[in-house]
Amino acid sequence: MTEAEYSEYISTFNAACAGDGTGFAAFFDRYYEPDAVFEYIPNATRNSGRDFTIRFWQGVHEQMQETIRPHISFLNVGSTMASEAPIDFRCKRDLEWVGIPHKKDTSFRLMMAAFYELSPAKKIRYARVYSIFNEAYQPDP
């Protein structure tokens, strides 16, 4: 996957999160192998396969609107990719995320580092996403 293709992957994910009508299932089918593993750190959520991963994304989407911002770093070596990017979240209800309480209609930013293993078909077969909250990452008001 080239950097341009990765940017398209992120744009397509953001569109699904924004409710463009395509949904997470179409996104998964386009970019992931059917038995792919999606692992989310810090809470060590490990989603194996299409149904579990889609349910995870839907669960996040029920709580907040997610937007991945343009990446800061991107690396592609053979069948391995890595990226770093800020992710903005708008809370749909009061919630606690990565140990921090947030009120409905407020926003916060996490810094994400993501590592991907690609199949020979250039689809994602393993994704490990690390998200970190720090006051220093928050956008200027």
Q: Which of 13-17, 85-89, 137-141 has the lowest mean pLDDT?
A: 137-141
pLDDT digit string (tens) for 53-106?
899 889 889 999 999 999 999 999 999 999 999 999 999 999 988 788 999 999
**91 close to 104: Cβ distance less than 8 angstroms:** yes
pLDDT at 69: 96
Q: What is the pTM of this model?
A: 0.90
Q: What angle do CA 113, 28, 43 make, to 5 degrees?
A: 40
pLDDT at 141: 67
Cα–chain center distance at 60: 10
pLDDT at 122: 94
User: Where would I find the beta strands (DSSP E) of 4-138?
Assistant: 32-41, 45-48, 64-68, 73-77, 80-91, 95-97, 100-102, 107-118, 124-133
Scan for tokens 């293993």, then name that residue.
Answer: 117
pLDDT digit string (tens) for 20-56?
888 899 999 999 999 999 998 877 778 888 998 899 8
Distance CA 64, CA 49 (A): 23
Distance CA 1, CA 80 (A): 9
Sorted by where each starts, the structural domains of the chain and their CATH numbers stand as 3-137 (3.10.450.50)
Query: For residue 57, which of 102, 103, 26 has the smallest C-alpha distance?
Result: 26
